[in-house]
Amino acid sequence: MSRKRRSGHYCWSCDRMRANEKFSGKGHARHLCKDCARLGKEELAYRQTIRDLDRLLTWNGHIPRRNREQFRKYLNHKDERIRAYARQIEATDALNRAEQRLQQDLDDFLVEQAAETYNDEDIFPLRVDSSGDLTPEDDTEIPF
């Protein structure tokens, strides 16, 4: 079975695979289709900055600790649209982290409650034999 071939090229600006005819001669190397090449420098710079911001995030939208300092420079960016997008990402990240902390606290609480309710001896009673090994208290064989 042969490998499926993709026709065309990828345009980073519009994030699509486009036909070869949609690229100019130099557009192939720049990975920029004719439609996106017409946008202008400001719009292309905006789109590239948004891509750079998105690359700082994990797949589930968190800002890893190692990327936070780099992320903070976008909060003071000269373009208002980029600042607004960075603030939106920061707010979403803070909300996700708060939810994770609450879930972790709930899990810890439930584990503590279960530990207080049940003793290990109640669930799996063991005794120490003369050799120091743990053995079940009742010597019934388990048929396997």
pLDDT tens-digit map of 110-135: 888 877 776 555 555 555 566 666 56
Residues 6+ apart with CB under 8 A from 48: 12
Note the pTM of the prediction, 2 decimals.
Answer: 0.64
The whole-chain average pLDDT of the chain stands at: 81
- Cα Dmax for the chain: 85
pLDDT tens readout for residues 22-57: 887 776 677 888 888 888 899 999 999 999 999 999
Q: Is the dihedral of CA 70, 75, 81, 85 positive or negative?
A: positive
Instruction: Report the C-alpha gap between 11 and 35 in whole angstroms.
Output: 10
Give the per-residue pLDDT at 30: 77
Give the per-residue pLDDT at 86: 95
Instruction: Report the C-alpha gap between 52 and 15 in whole angstroms.
Output: 14
Give the per-residue pLDDT at 47: 92
